[in-house]
């Protein structure tokens, strides 16, 4: 048996939104498996702190990458950051960026600006990220893209129309990219978590039938599985992560 059955040791992985709770868990999960991790965020300090922690904790190469993915300058900033890290190919791209603040708002109460802001961050920026990184993904010859949607984008959720719309869009974008990029050796899949809970903190509010909270590490485990060699024949798949509930 291979000492690296997941095929992740030493491979370059970009985790967008790595300074968030889920993104941080994803970055740590890849580092624990020996990957070279590029940690993206909006803050120079946050990305550098995380990159240093991954190098110190796991003995892997880790690089900070700072860019506002909703900015017109995002492609240039991403390309510059990747070049500064010496990255000539990407085996894995994961998007964990979200602009959703978690505050309940009915669809009627949402302003156009609030609705548009979440769409820009959670959907439009995802396309920008993948399109910018595509030459490096193709160069790897065996790339995996994993996008984070949400159970809200699959089943809906009250008082979160902007989140539901954006995350449903991510699921649709996953299917479109899977079709468009299959011929270039890029597999594209999607993870749709239910509510993500901090360990040891009781979840406030009803979750609904068949909905259970997940820890960030549980979500990260599913992301790693879809990004690994074990998923090589899989593309255009949406994986619901729902706390072990059907």
Which of the two residues, 198 and 176, has the higher pLDDT score? 176
- Asked if the structure places residue 85 within a domain, the reply is yes
Residue 25: count of CB within 10 angstroms of its CB: 21
- Asked if the structure places residue 4 within a domain, the reply is no
CA–CA dist 208, 10 (Å, integer): 41
- What is the C-alpha to C-alpha distance for residues 94 and 224, in angstroms, rounded to an integer? 9
Torsion of the alpha carbons at 162, 100, 126 and 237, rounded to the nearest 10: -80
136-183 tens-digit pLDDT: 999 999 999 999 999 999 999 999 999 999 999 999 999 999 999 999
Say if 19 falls within a structural domain. yes
The pTM of this model reads 0.95
C-alpha distance from residue 104 to each of 14, 69, 72, 212, 213 (Å): 31, 24, 29, 19, 18
What are φ and ψ of residue 146, in 5° steps? Answer: -125, 120
Three-state secondary structure call for residue 54: helix
Is residue 161 domain-resident?
yes
pLDDT for 1 beyond 50 = no
E strands in the chain: 12-16, 36-41, 62-66, 92-95, 143-148, 186-193, 238-241
CB 189 within 8 A of CB 144: yes
Answer yes or no: is 57 within a domain: yes
Residue numbers of the domain that contains 167: 12-241
Contacts of 43 (CB under 8 A, 6+ apart): 19, 66
Q: Has residue 246 been placed in a domain? A: no
Q: Model confidence at 244, in pLDDT bands (50, 70, 90)?
A: confident
Report the DSSP beta bridge partners of residue 160: 105
In a domain, 224, yes or no: yes
Number of independent structural domains in the chain: 1
Confidence of residue 41 (pLDDT cuts 50, 70, 90): very high
* In contact, 60 and 111? CB cutoff 8 Å: no
The answer to whether residue 1 sits within a structural domain is no
CATH code of the domain covering residue 176: 3.40.50.720
Token output for 157: 């959720």
Q: For the segment 207-236, what is each residue's pLDDT rounded down to a tens digit? A: 666 677 899 999 999 999 999 999 989 999
Residue 73 has pLDDT above 60, yes or no: yes
């Amino acid at each position: 048996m291979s000492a690296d059955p997941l095929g992740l040791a030493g491979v370059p992985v970009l985790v967008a939104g790595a300074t968030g709770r889920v993104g941080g868990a994803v970055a740590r999960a890849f580092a624990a498996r020996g990957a070279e991790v590029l940690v993206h965020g909006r803050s120079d300090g946050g990305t550098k702190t995380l990159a240093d922690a991954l190098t110190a904790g796991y003995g892997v190469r880790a690089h900070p990458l700072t860019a506002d993915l909703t900015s017109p300058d995002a492609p240039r900033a991403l390309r510059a950051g990747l070049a500064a890290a010496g990255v000539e190919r990407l085996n894995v791209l994961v998007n964990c960026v979200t602009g959703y603040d978690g505050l309940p708002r009915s669809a009627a109460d949402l302003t156009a600006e609030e609705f548009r802001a979440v769409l820009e961050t959670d959907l439009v920026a995802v396309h920008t990220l993948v399109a910018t990184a595509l030459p490096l993904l193709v160069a790897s010859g065996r790339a995996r893209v994993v996008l984070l949607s949400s159970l809200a984008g699959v089943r809906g959720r009250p008082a979160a129309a902007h989140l539901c719309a954006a995350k449903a869009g991510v699921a649709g974008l996953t299917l479109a990219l899977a079709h468009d990029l299959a011929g270039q050796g890029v597999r594209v899949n999607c993870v749709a978590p239910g509510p993500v809970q901090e360990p040891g903190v009781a979840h406030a509010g009803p979750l609904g039938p068949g909905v259970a909270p997940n820890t960030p590490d549980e979500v990260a485990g599913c992301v790693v599985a879809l990004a690994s060699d074990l998923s090589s024949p899989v593309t255009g798949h949406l994986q619901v992560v729902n706390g072990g509930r059907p």
